[in-house]
A and B are shown apart, each in its own frame.
Chain A
Amino acid sequence: MTVATTDGTTIIGESILISGSLNGDEDLTVRGRVEGTLTLTKTLVVEPTGIVKAEVQVKNCVIAGVVVGNVTATESVEITKEGRMVGDIAAPRVIIVDGASFRGRIDMGEVDVESGAAPRRAAAAPARPAFRPAARPAAKPEAKKAEEKAAATAPKVPAPPAPVAMGAVKRKVIVKRR
């Protein structure tokens, strides 16, 4: 951070404690402690000595200190190597540097990974239990029959995946029971 004040950057010094609601239209650097709510239209920087225990709403946030509370940023949130945060983050860009500590949820908006977070639903997929290379369409009907047989005669499919294509069990290539 460069020289403060002359351009209206606010700095909360190390020994300062602010408890209540803080609103502003400028950058804010916290080296002390802020508790309550913090709303800025610009950038919040929590330095290594800084502790923010608040609901935070900002444009950008750089966390090198401690933040306990939820952070909503319209642009980005970055947790640096010295940063520690417990709370949820909602921002389009989130950067967590190696060495940072974080516990909470991250919401970047719509993240589309096909079949999302429910891998077990994959059963319905038009199962071509194509294993290694040889994935030939001809194998399909056979595989299906084999699947049924396997399912019937091989109740040795314990917990792990749900009704996912058990045809794989037959192949026995790299699948190992734990």
Chain B
Amino acid sequence: MAATSGIIGRGTVVRGNLSGSGDVVVEGRLEGTVALEDRLTVESGGKVIADVQLENLIVHGEMGGDVVAAERVVISSTAKVVGDIKAPRVVIEDGARFSGSIEMDVKLPEGI
């Protein structure tokens, strides 16, 4: 687990390009683009309106934008996400609201 290198607190709004290593937690609002080497966590009051590229994404709050994750995306039961997701693993919990496309690697048996 990488160290938390950034927290965008509840009353804070960030606009621009966010990049770097370490985990970032958003409790406020983030708009723009995100390129992280580790994890982005959007807490339940948080909102991210951005195209994101990262290793791991966990959304408890709101997210609008396209996601490319190297490892996994988790859309939890309180989350609302709109956008296209590309990742090897995606988890959608019961209660989550999602609209968009998901692209994982799907191994189908022959002849399909």
Contact = CB atoms under 8 A, between A and B. Distances in A.
A123 B83 CA distance: 19
B80 A119 contact: no
A95 B79 CA distance: 13
A98 B99 CA distance: 18
16 contacts: A66-B109, A95-B92, A96-B102, A97-B91, A100-B104, A102-B90, A103-B102, A107-B99, A109-B99, A112-B80, A114-B47, A114-B49, A132-B12, A133-B9, A174-B18, A174-B20
A168 interface: yes
**Interface size bracket, B side:** 35 or more
B16 A169 contact: yes
Contacts, number: 150
A56 interface: no
A15 interface: no
Given A104-B102, A105-B100, A113-B81, 13 more contacts: A66-B109, A66-B112, A84-B107, A97-B91, A101-B107, A102-B106, A114-B62, A114-B64, A117-B65, A117-B66, A133-B9, A161-B15, A175-B19
Interface residues of A, number: 53
A50 to B, nearest CB: 11
A128 interface: yes
**Secondary structure at chain B's binding surface: helix, strand, loop or mixed?**
strand
Contacts of A99: 89
A137 interface: no
Interface in A106-146: 106-109, 111-119, 122, 127-133, 135
A111 B99 contact: yes
A51 interface: yes
A95 to B, nearest CB: 5
Nearest to A129: B15
Interface string B82-112: 1110000111111111111111111111001
A22 to B, nearest CB: 18
B32 A101 contact: no
A96 B72 CA distance: 12
A86 interface: yes
A80 to B, nearest CB: 12
A53 interface: yes
Interface in B32-80: 32-33, 35, 47, 49-51, 62-66, 72, 74, 80
